[in-house]
Amino acid sequence: MHPAFSVVFFTTATGAGYGLLALLGVLAGQGFIPPDFWLGLTGMGLSLGLISAGLLSSAGHLGRPERAWRAFSQWRSSWLSREGVASVATFVPAGLFGIGWVVLGRTSGWVAVAGLLAAIGAVATVCTTGMIYASLKPIAQWHSRFTLPGYLIFSAMTGSVLLNALLQGFAAGSNMLLAAALLLTALGWGLKLATWRYNDRLEIPTNANTATGLSGGTVRSMEWPHTEENYLLKEMGFRIARKHSAKLRLITQALAFALPALLLIAAFALPWPFAAASSILSAIAQLAGMLVERWLFFAEAKHTVTLYYGR
């Protein structure tokens, strides 16, 4: 698939933003995070800013962005429409939670309920985003048991690393959160390796023979249907060289998992403010690595429509 930067940025930014929002809504509402004004303003601003930037970026991939509102009407059958509805609905409790925390200076009572609802909405939105890709049967690399868990784990992973960096920056970090961020990073790394191993061994059952219903030999295309690339080949037939894919996988592992894990381990032993600096660097490295991982997620996927073009 063609890895358009708008969609790559969208999935990375909203995943991290919703992960951070869910953790803020649960932990602050339960009293694990102090109701500090600047902490709340920065945390809510960062989470909602990432979500908003990602959603706006996704509109850049549409042929007619001004008609994006029509996608909301197909929520009965379309995961894309359900994602739009869930994302907008989540802003309501998230806004109330932010007002209660930042303006009123409290995270208990109805503010805690709003935070919990915002967390539920954030998780639901990430699930709908993952299902957009997991439900696509023509793309075997996405239509697998790894896609939806991957979206949820990566969202929790990036959200926890961001929250750790945020709390460390305000000298309110804890070893428990550090350990959780480190554990989720290791879990995300393991899931990514398992996904790559599954995709590399994947045997796609559909071929030119099964598509045409012909047997008794090998069906192959003698000539292309046309002489130039069209929209389908540009969007669905993107190809990446194996050596480039291997190099980008190493970069993904280094930036998204290995380096953040080392920086988080260092934060255990370092005093403040060095622990804060290490935590912030881990969040920056991980987000950069996840941009590469998302690019590969799209670039390595193969749509069965390319069989029509002899690929």
189-218 pLDDT, tens per residue? 999 999 999 988 887 777 777 766 776 677
C-alpha–C-alpha distance, residues 34 and 68, integer Å: 39
Residue 225 binned pLDDT confidence (cut-offs 50, 70, 90): low
Cis status, amide bond into 205, omega within 30 of 0: no
Give the model's pLDDT for residue 236. Answer: 63
Output the CA torsion 180→185→191→195 (10° steps): 160
Q: What is the pTM of this model?
A: 0.89
Give the model's pLDDT for residue 23. Answer: 96
98-108 pLDDT, tens per residue? 999 999 988 88
C-alpha–C-alpha distance, residues 88 and 72, integer Å: 10
Q: Is the pLDDT of residue 112 over 90?
A: yes
* C-alpha distance from residue 108 to each of 27, 76, 185 (Å): 11, 35, 30
Sign of the alpha-carbon dihedral angle for 198, 200, 203, 207: positive
Residue type, 186: A
Q: Is the pLDDT of residue 262 over 80?
A: yes
Which is more confidently placed, 182 or 172?
182
Residue 303 binned pLDDT confidence (cut-offs 50, 70, 90): confident
Q: Is the pLDDT of residue 2 over 80?
A: no
Residue 172 binned pLDDT confidence (cut-offs 50, 70, 90): confident
Domains of the chain: 5-309 (1.20.1630.10)
For residue 296 the two structure tokens come to 């590969």
Residue 136 binned pLDDT confidence (cut-offs 50, 70, 90): confident
Which is more confidently placed, 242 or 272?
272
Give the model's pLDDT for residue 65. Answer: 61
19-62 pLDDT, tens per residue? 999 999 999 988 889 888 999 999 999 999 999 999 888 776 66
For 94-129, letters b (16+ CB in 10 Å) and e give: bebbbebbbeeeebeeebbbbbbbbbbbbbbbbbbb
C-alpha–C-alpha distance, residues 212 and 144, integer Å: 25
Q: Is the pLDDT of residue 223 over 70?
A: no
Tell me the average pLDDT of the chain. Answer: 87
Percent of the chain whose predicted confidence (pLDDT) is above 70: 85
Distance of CA 28 to the CA centre of its chain: 23
Mean pLDDT of 282-294: 95
Grouping H, G, I as helix, E, B as strand and the rest as coil, residue 303 is strand
